[in-house]
Chain A
């Protein structure tokens, strides 16, 4: 332990340690040792569950490995990646995931912002509202998916029936939502948006609470309308909170799996990247190809994060708790 501490101190010790600590070197040393002892188990578990499998996935992705075929498993370099990247199935899945991500995050942001503003100002059912809004967040995604699937289904659902009644019969009350690409996507996105908007709105609410009240008042006194205040004062002053909330939701939406798996199983070309990875490994036993898709999915996530950090200047240090 002492050796590690010495080594670690050499790396960035003096610059990092506070001046007061330098005098108490024994105490500082003890503190460092304790810090590592406390943090090490969590770090080791995270590395074991995430770093090891992903390295394993990169390794497996270079092999032609199929579980059902004992003779498979020859090293084929990057051929799996070539197979995937030249297949329209992959690009279509990327398209579906991207589409779902962009549309749901935009809707969630608009709805979530409206919700947050109501929750921020509301007085009468304040507690009730904050409690009720938490319910979709706490509901299992699979349960939300089943609920929406049954609601849209032409055999058991009420949605087509209601739409037909509202439109005076113009909408077919037996419309098969899961029989067409776009309508199936709408059903999937309904489930996704319903479940995750509350989470978004709570993050936005926390950001909203940090907007200085004096600025709002000053703008109001100067005669700014509601929209002007929203656009010029509120949104800019909570930009950092917004970007973090949007990034979180975007990454979550891109890897969408549960809703699609339950509602369509990927039929009507609704296969997302996540569903594609699952199908290759679990349904078709193609561990090599499945691993390559997993690695590519991770690359997509890195690209999205990179775009957020570089283009939208999302400050990740706000997230990492330091």
Chain B
């Protein structure tokens, strides 16, 4: 493909990349800029900060918003990690079965996954809110982890099934010929081969859970105290509760600083695992 392109077309394509990069980075640069504008200059309406200041970051980590932001960050990280690990484990087993074994009911599982993904999360909020309140899951970690599985399982099952189909299964058969049971073949041979796909799905699942606002805002009420686990509100839902230091300094800078903090981990993951994420996002939707 690359050889067919003339140097002129190549140059034009490079030019075309410029607006795309601006389009992508402009809103991100803006949030970063807001988080670095000090005090009252937050309302100066300039894209770039004139005076740099770390005040907003200090405020959310050690200052007035500390009790709100730090526990919310712990909740976000903890809940999303647990939901990711559990979701990936469950979907890895299911996807292995779907990709590898012949059993009736395969379609039922794939269709259930499809239906679950099409299901609007907001539709589940009312019944879950009602049930969670009566069984004591409202505003608890478990109360968010369970619905997050509904967000991550379907995409994980498809993506992993697609990945698992590409694995050289002769190796598994070879192991079985050598006397390994199906289970041993799965654990000792398949799992190491499948690890890259599993890892990709874990990143995508984590993004999905990390992004959630619908469940967090309706099934939790407070972030609780740091390390006390007496609340489950995650960062996206907590941002709305930030208040300014005074009437003259609005919460804008603090929200922006918190937004930057929760964006950093996902940007790092994207920078390191770009190729895998793209493969994962498209594997489930388009058959290769």
Residues of A at the B interface (CB closer than 8 Å) are 8-9, 11-13, 16-18, 21, 28, 30-32, 34-39, 41-43, 45-50, 53-54, 56-57, 60, 67, 115, 118, 121-125, 127-144, 146-148, 150-151, 155-158, 161, 194, 198-199, 202-203, 205-207, 210, 213, 241, 244-245, 248, 251, 254-255, 257-258, 261-262, 274, 277-278, 280-282, 287, 290-291, 293-295, 297-298, 301, 305, 316, 318-322
For the complex of A and B, the 4 pairs showing the least CB-CB separation, nearest first, are A35-B103, A38-B97, A206-B282, A42-B94
Q: Are A39 and B2 in contact (CB under 8 A)?
A: no
Q: Which residues on the A side are within 8 Å of B214 (C-beta)? A: 257-258, 274, 278
- Interface assignment of B173: CB less than 8 Å from any CB of chain A: no
**Smallest CB–CB gap between B11 and chain A, Å?**
8
Q: Which residues on the A side are within 8 Å of B147 (C-beta)? A: 49
Q: Are A147 and B102 in contact (CB under 8 A)?
A: no
Q: A49-B146, A138-B266, A274-B120 are in contact. Are A32 and B252 (CB under 8 A)?
A: no
Q: Which residues on the B side are within 8 Å of A287 (C-beta)? A: 126, 129-130
Interface centre among B98, B126, B128, B157 (most CB of A within 10 A): B126
Q: Are B278 and A202 in contact (CB under 8 A)?
A: yes
Q: A150-B30, A210-B286, A319-B114 are in contact. Are A123 and B124 (CB under 8 A)?
A: no
**Smallest CB–CB gap between B130 and chain A, Å?**
5
Q: A258-B214, A320-B111 are in contact. Are A31 and B120 (CB under 8 A)?
A: no
> Which residue of chain A lies nearest to B120 when distances are taken between CB atoms in the complex?
A255
With the chains together, A137 CA to B280 CA distance in Å? 13
Q: Which residues on the A side are within 8 Å of B255 (C-beta)? A: 146
Main secondary structure of the interface of A (DSSP, over half): helix
- Interface assignment of B218: CB less than 8 Å from any CB of chain A: yes
Q: Which of B36-94 contact A (CB under 8 A)?
A: 42-43, 45-47, 90-91, 93-94
With the chains together, A194 CA to B24 CA distance in Å? 8
- Interface assignment of B267: CB less than 8 Å from any CB of chain A: yes
Q: Which residues on the A side are within 8 Å of B285 (C-beta)? A: 203, 206, 241, 244-245, 248, 318-319
State how many residues of chain B have any CB contact under 8 Å with chain A.
109
A-binding segment of B14-22, B193-201, B225-233 = B14-22
**Smallest CB–CB gap between B261 and chain A, Å?**
10
Q: Which residues on the A side are within 8 Å of B150 (C-beta)? A: 45-46, 49-50
Q: A135-B270, A141-B213, A281-B125 are in contact. Are A118 and B104 (CB under 8 A)?
A: no
Q: Which residues on the B side are within 8 Å of A30 (C-beta)? A: 182
- Interface assignment of B149: CB less than 8 Å from any CB of chain A: yes
**Smallest CB–CB gap between B104 and chain A, Å?**
5
Q: Are A8 and B213 in contact (CB under 8 A)?
A: no
Q: Are A277 and B109 in contact (CB under 8 A)?
A: no
With the chains together, A210 CA to B207 CA distance in Å? 27
> Which residue of chain B lies nearest to A44 when distances are taken between CB atoms in the complex?
B90
> Which residue of chain B lies nearest to A142 when distances are taken between CB atoms in the complex?
B236
Q: Are B286 and A207 in contact (CB under 8 A)?
A: yes
Q: Which residues on the B side are within 8 Å of A206 (C-beta)? A: 282, 285-286, 288
**Smallest CB–CB gap between A309 and chain B, Å?**
11
With the chains together, A248 CA to B154 CA distance in Å? 13
Q: Are B127 and A297 in contact (CB under 8 A)?
A: no
- Interface assignment of B175: CB less than 8 Å from any CB of chain A: no
